[in-house]
Structure 1
């Protein structure tokens, strides 16, 4: 059946009443109509409803007739979003909805039948490329391909491979690509032209926020926005300035140690370091010379990421959690220096700056003042020498005030329209901050009891702070719990340090420390058996706990100070209410889950939710909130609110926009807006001066590689002779190798990759040459678990010329030295790092004299090496390669699920030979994990059975 072209679909989706278009804004309808009539790359500003446009486009093709449209490069959440939206949109009876092919559990025959039925399908890239190469999918019947996240499509990616094979086999089908990340197209030389070439497209469509159609659509109806500039506390401002000084000092040291001739250091400044992608950019520049930079430079690169994370945690973590995080950094640095025996030299350079001292001292003052006992205290009792400060985040009080204002507004001005609910939506950065805000909102109005008033004073009507037994808008209730958790964590940390030091002393003195440490770690009060510090412990029986603590060494306070400290200390102990209260954060037992299911009324509901990209559009449509509180600034969500408000005339929305003024949070928000605007400006300029590439036209494209293969000149007997052959050279590739970029590069060079499931080797170049490909990380892991030895043994027994390909990445140094820290061998006598890898390679060479090793600096060079190795040799036989390594009588067409099969192969004790025996007698991994050692020994032998049984039954 001939494929349906784009022109046949032009009038139907746009005018047919059967197609329900849920695109209310003019710019969305304009884009929808334009994309139906032509192939294009759409680059839309983030937050303007890209996924909604894609959903309507797919629905139009679904109801238009017998089409086969493939959705590529979509995440699992996006696939669910599109599938549910298409189901809700509805349509005529021929609509089939979105079908997902995202697992290899569906066999080849099942996928073929699914493709033949047609419709809209979301297919993972790895499955689709194999089906295209093996003709499991009828290429001539494919109506078109829709590619999401086009900014991630590189020349060596699977998506580019898919489009190249698709365009080679189908000249009439459409290709439509989408992206909402303009920054991904704005780096490098002519990035837009390069991306269009990878996507086999000619026309880019750019829609920034300042586009005329977008601005007119969104500015006609605007939401009421209240900006709240929340100032940082003086202590937080001091910590922020100190962290920025540490970042500036680290960047200065990095410039001194870097190679200015090979690395562009123009953007290495504090402002650039605040951007989220700075770590990736910095490492990408340093990777080619990573083996030449000093250990100090490598350490500073890691320190910069830690300092940048610290800036984020300063405004999101509470005072106690932030201080605990810093304590963890110090504990890690001190333990690393002690174990290496290097002392101060091994610690991060920024720790010795005056600014670092400011960070740690100020963070401690935000949590408490005073001293702790040497063992860190106890989670149940508070030492008398500790004076809790418990500084709250400034946004907490602001959020509480906003909710009070909303409550008063809901009472005095009831909702008049029927388009919105009385829901309050609070949006924050991540799930951890959501848990923090939920805990704060659940405990902010709890009574703080004292001995004089107890529970007699109930909360007042206004919810304002009182001085006796009182109700406050403070987070004192939550912060006391955090402080007790910190003290318990401190005690566990001191116990672990003591055990760790004891082990080191025992190892140096006579080897008895390891056993003593193991005994200590198995004590009931060990840190391994304790709940995390941020979790409330369930108290069974009586809720009373000891209220006295042991005397600690140090200066004794005066009588007046002792009374004040005792009062604070008493208020910090768990109350009966706290002890008996159900833990809000912990998961309740499954047997009682039915008791907690209920339907909430959206009229008086406060929903705390993290930003989740395009999924926020559905959240707004389902909740229909009357009030939205943006706890953290986010450019994309601001636009989503604009689109939501402009799409519904009957819905009133009031937005509270919170941000810390004069902070890194504000700087990052403004920087993100400026970067996006600059990226669109660069793309618009490049589009205006971009030359039209005619070779990407689907109807005039000529496969030059096929032409060169058809007409070749060979010298026979001293004379020239023309021979015609259209069959390209082929390489048999294991299906698991399509995760890498090498099969795509082989195809680009004119060598046809044939995907099959191989038992021995990864690539079969000729009937005698078998290649096992190893990346550096895979090489280290294969040496560690012994898998490489088994693979070399199987290749040597089956092929005359076995080879091991050691492949480096294109942008990494061509040396084993940078990976010195990757080989963490359990043996203390093994040579560290790259030397250990080379020693193992020498031993492998001695064990297998016929084994050849190929060193490749990049996948591009590997493709050239394969072409040279194949030159002058016959082509490999697919049927013969598939049966190599199988047992006598074993069916090569028997299918196993690849995902559990790969998990089985990495289990210690499982090799390529005994894996087949296990799969024949064991139904799944669950059954294998529950088998006795004796039963496993019947399948794989006693020695291998020990390893397998220990793997499943080891207690960590």
Structure 2
């Protein structure tokens, strides 16, 4: 470990704190060393909020340090039985467990909370108020004040949005201290400056066509954003900038800003928000993918937006811009030109080729990705340098953004001559498939859309418009998606005719293969092992795994095909930890491109995020944990004159029985924070039991619509009415959204079977005793539950669990809740017969292999047929 990493580890061992580091400075390494410190002792440590890939990487790192799995990290899966989990907790160790499972185990006393030595929160930037992690930490701190809590994160920008975000996060994590370690910290800067500085920055210019496409896409995005701002002038959204629009988080920020008024936004504006995401993807695809793949994305968008006449699908309005016409045309000409186009006469004939399955009037241009040739030149330089300086070469590591780029580079480096031609052949085959799909749909010919557009004046297709200057000016006007679609269909007409010569070649090839004789070593030949020093490895950026990749592979040459600030710091750490290795880094970036702007924006945003965190840390109020009320405090409160005129009445703690499936929502943590004792239980009827008489079925808006459509809500109300005197249907809204089921204009005058209000009306007519409670948020639901429980007795968990069970003595508490939910949601399954299926088959995989006759024998002829048809239906 480097000096600053050792200092961070020492600070973590001394006090509970939230560690926030710059990405790439070795958070994963510090985290694994912290776990390694606690593997030697008999400690019970719980790890929360990690992914399956991160758990595997942690286990791999600990194994490399000589720590076996039994003494290292053990993963508790969702299908681990409760008895097994309880036994594992008693044996101590380090366990990675989901927060939902741990919350249930803490509430049911399966895990001895007083014996927990500590809880570690990874990816702390993902923690939100009233989450399952919040509930776990509340229970843990109420029952154990001695154990430690540590939190780790390398996303500083996630702690800068909202009001006092750092202070609120510390309050959720039950912490009072934060450790900030940016790249510009003095110790970090000194440690990383000791490594060798052989970095070669290569600024690759874009081709004229790419530059033209980029400018046109930027213009389309800016115009679309200005249209969104104009349509939502009442909402103050400072994030509507082109720089922020380059990041994936932009879509989420825009949706969060517009959610409170989403029901008032016009459908056109909602479509514009989706267009921003598409344009951002196209800007990224321009520099990441080749010309053929990029053009196929554009043609897919055109086909999607060129719906037949009479379709209700909305078209993207940016496609009607002049800029859209420019970049669509430029993208197509990077792949092919027509012999009838004026550009064909200007293009040198030796640069045009005729590929397989290509129409006669088309010539392929096949513009090569500029970085491909640069990468090949770099590899040739490395090969010459490694051969000169060493006897056996040196390992080379190439880092890219995604797996598609990784695969393309592997194929290009393996056979660069015919790679673009093969891509072109697949491209025209794909277009042929689209043509056949269009023929099946048989859409009528349509001209440009006559709907009004905010981007420019569009004339109805049935009106003749005289254009001064004749056809030359008219042809220069931007084409509509329908016009592009018709042009592509005309181009593809010749592709649907089978080629007899191609079929003849395939037949001859089959005859040759049939007459060939193979030896013993032809099918399974013996391969010689390639030494690591001769390997050129192409990998994707994978955050924590990148540290292990550098340690295991030990590359001498590192090529950053796509720029990434986090990986640059990982390379700095790698060079500082291996000063004896002469490491050379090639940094590739497009000059004056959106790729460069995005990289610089990432660096600047991170620096500003740490500056905000440092400022907030200096002025924020230290969170103080509120201790739970003692029995003496409760006695004083009960005899106060404010409560019943001074009557002495000690009531038991309010209890709510919660179904296991409800621990996916934020309501159980809110109930617990309000002093309500929640008891997890597998309920057959209802979601929340407030008293022996009150049963509540909670529905979010999406779940309500789905349950009404499938008829499941009708069955649930029938069961509640049968077993409880006061059945309640709770319809809960999201706090960030409007408290409105649907617009007033959408409410029908008469009952319509497809309308949601009509379905609710029919439900109340069928069950007049059902109470419907409308809640604007989970916080309001908590207040409603407390009021409903005021004059009722406390419920019994054992009695509530047996309600609706056919054979209470045969209840199986070892059944996993998630597969049971999937089974009960299938057609033909109801509350009476699902247990018959669960007894007959072990899991869903075995259910899928069960024959129809067996299912009909188990649950009946009609339900069995419905279930079998649902599982095996292909359309």
d(CA) in 1 for partners of 2:14, 2:592 = 48
In 2, are the aligned partners of 1:151 and 1:185 still within 8 Å (CA)?
yes
Q: SS of the residue aligned with 2:363?
A: strand
Tell me what 1:18 maps to: none
User: Equivalent residue for 1:911?
Assistant: 830
Q: Aligned-pair distance for 1:889?
A: 5.0
**Paired position in structure 2 for 1:703:** 628
Q: Please list the CA deviations of residues 321-374 of structure 1 after superposition, one character each: whole Å capped at 9, or x if unmatched.
A: 111111111111112x635258xxx3111111100101111111011011799x
- Closer, same or farther: CA 56–820 of 1 in aligned 2, 3 Å: farther
Paired residues in the alignment total: 797
Aligned to 2:309: 338
Does residue 805 (structure 1) correspond to residue 749 (structure 2)? The answer is no
SS, match of residue 872 in structure 1: coil
Distance 1:594 1:630 in 2: 36
Instruction: Give the Å deviation of 1:79.
Output: 1.1
Equivalent residues of 1:381, 1:573 under 8 A apart: no
- Separation (CA, whole Å) in 1 of partners of 2:743 and 2:84: 46
Q: 1:886 to 1:575 in 2, by over 3 A?
A: same
What is the SS of the residue equivalent to 2:59?
A: helix
Determine whether 1:499 maps to 2:447.
no
Tell me if structure 1 keeps the 8 A contact 2:355–2:364.
no
CA contact (8 A) 1:223 1:645 kept: no
Deviation, 1:226, is 0.6
1:228-377 paired onto structure 2 within 5 Å:
228-260=202-234, 263-335=235-307, 338-340=309-311, 346-370=314-338
The equivalent position to 1:482 in structure 2, one of 423, 429, 446, is 423
Distance 1:235 1:892, change over 3 A: same
Equivalent-residue separation in structure 1 for 2:745 and 2:533 (angstroms)? 60
| Aligned counterpart in structure 2 of residue 162 of structure 1, from 115, 136, 146 | 136
Question: Does residue 547 of structure 2 align to residue 617 of structure 1?
Answer: yes
Q: Give me the whole-angstrom Cα distance separating, in 1, the residues matched to 2:605 and 2:164.
A: 18
Of 556, 570, 585, 1:640 maps to: 570
Residue 384 in structure 1 maps to residue 314 in structure 2: no
Q: Secondary structure at the match of 1:228?
A: strand
Q: Distance in 2 between matches of 1:932 and 1:339?
A: 44
Contact kept in structure 2, 1:380 and 1:573, CA below 8 Å: no
Structure 1 gap segments, 5+ residues each: 1-22, 447-476, 506-551, 555-568, 581-591, 822-828
Q: What secondary structure is seen at the aligned counterpart in 1 of 2:822? A: helix
Which digits, 9 at most, give the CA deviation of each residue in 1:404-454, with x for residues without a partner?
Answer: 1111112112169xxxx821111100111111111111111x5xxxxxxxx
Distance 2:340 2:725 in 1: 70
2:716 aligned partner: 791
Partner of 1:236, secondary structure, is helix
Q: Which residue is equivalent to 1:544?
A: none
Judge which range, 427-436 or 486-495, deviates more: 486-495
Report the CA distance shift for 1:596/1:212 in structure 2 as closer, same or farther (over 3 A): farther
Specify whether residues 296 and 232 from structure 1 end up closer, same or farther in structure 2 by C-alpha distance, changes over 3 A only: same
Distance 2:271 2:47 in 1: 42
Aligned-residue offset at 1:855: 1.6
**Structure 2 match to 1:953:** 872
Correspondences of 1:212-227 after superposition (within 5 Å): 212-227=186-201
CA distance in 2, matches of 1:608, 1:488: 28
Question: How far apart in 2 are the matches of 1:873 and 1:502?
Answer: 64
> How far apart in 1 are the matches of 2:798 and 2:529?
60
1:629 aligns with 2:600: no
Task: Give the 3-state SS of the residue equivalent to 1:854 in structure 2.
Answer: strand
SS at match of 1:662: coil
For 2:767 and 2:525, how far apart are their aligned partners in 1? 65
Do structure 1's residue 604 and structure 2's residue 575 form an aligned pair?
no
Query: Offset of 1:36 from its aligned partner?
Result: 0.7
Deviations 1:183-226 (A, max 9, x none): 11111221111111111111111000000111111111134211
Q: Which moved more, 1:786-795 or 1:71-80?
A: 786-795
Query: In structure 2, what is the Cα distance between the partners aligned to 1:593 and 1:134?
Result: 59
- Answer whether contact 1:709 1:728 (CA < 8 A) is retained: no
Distance in 2 between residues matched to 1:575 and 1:45, nearest whole Å:
59
Aligned to 1:909, the other structure's residue is in SS state coil
Aligned to 1:196: 170
Q: Distance in 2 between matches of 1:707 and 1:664?
A: 65
Q: What is residue 51 of structure 2 aligned with on the other side?
A: 75
Q: Paired residue for 1:61, among 38, 57, 60?
A: 38
Deviation string 1:259-293 (CA, Å, 9 cap, x unpaired) is 42xx2222312122123311110000001100011
- Aligned counterpart, 1:409: 385
2:593 matched to which residue of 1? 663
**What is the DSSP-based 3-state SS (H/G/I as helix, E as strand, rest coil) of the residue aligned with 2:648?**
strand
Report the alpha carbon displacement of residue 498 of structure 1 after superposing the two structures with TM: 2.1
Q: State the alpha-carbon separation in 1 of the partners of residues 8 and 366 from structure 2.
A: 53
Q: Distance in 2 between matches of 1:593 and 1:268?
A: 59
Give 3-state SS (helix, strand or coil) of 2:38's partner.
Answer: helix
Query: Are 2:5 and 1:28 aligned?
Result: yes
2:863 counterpart residue number: 944
Q: How much does 1:715 deviate? A: 7.5
Report 1:421-500 matches (<5 A): 422-444=394-416, 446=417, 477-500=418-441
Q: Is 1:415–1:422's contact at 8 Å kept on the other side of the alignment? A: no
Deviation at 1:785, TM superposition (A): 2.6
CA distance in 1, matches of 2:584, 2:765: 74
Matched, 1:102 2:69: no
Question: SS in structure 1 opposite 2:243?
Answer: helix
Asked if structure 2 preserves the Cα contact closer than 8 Å seen for 1:206 and 1:684, the reply is yes
1:720 equivalent in structure 2: 646
- What is the deviation of 1:233? 0.7
Q: Specify the SS of the correspondent of 2:590.
A: strand
Q: Which residue of 2 aligns with 1:864?
A: 783
| Structure 1 Cα separation of the partners of residues 252 and 743 of structure 2 | 17
CA contact (8 A) 2:728 2:773 kept: yes
Aligned partners of 1:784 and 1:595: how far apart in 2?
59
8 Å CA contact 1:147–1:176 kept in 2: the answer is yes
In 2, the alpha carbon distance for the partners of 1:708 and 1:926 equals 55
Superposed, 1:499-538 pairs within 5 Å as: 499-501=440-442
Query: Do the aligned partners of 2:200 and 2:586 also contact (CA within 8 Å) in 1?
Result: yes
Q: Tell me what 1:52 maps to.
A: 29
Preserved contact between residue 61 and residue 548 of structure 2 (Cα < 8 Å): no
CA distance in 2, matches of 1:151, 1:598: 47
Are the structure 2 counterparts of residues 844 and 504 from structure 1 closer, same or farther at C-alpha, using a change threshold of 3 Å? farther
Say which SS state the counterpart of residue 119 (structure 2) adopts. Answer: strand
1:750 paired to 2:675: yes
| TM-score normalised according to structure 2 size | 0.86
Q: Secondary structure at the match of 2:162?
A: coil
Q: 1:627–1:653: 8 Å Cα contact kept in structure 2?
A: yes
Matched residue SS, 1:908: coil
**Alpha-carbon distance between aligned partners in 2 of 1:681 and 1:225, rounded to the nearest angstrom:** 28
Q: Structure 1 CA distance, aligned partners of 2:527 and 2:267? A: 55
Assess if the C-alpha contact under 8 Å between 2:656 and 2:676 holds in 1: yes
- Could you say what secondary structure the match of 1:885 adopts? coil
Shift of 1:931: 2.4
Deviations 1:804-850 (A, max 9, x none): 222221211222338999xxxxxxx9979xx7222222222222222
Q: Deviations over 1:475-532 (max 9, x none)?
A: xx12111222221221221221221236999xxxxxxxxxxxxxxxxxxxxxxxxxxx
Is 1:768–2:685 an aligned residue pair?
no
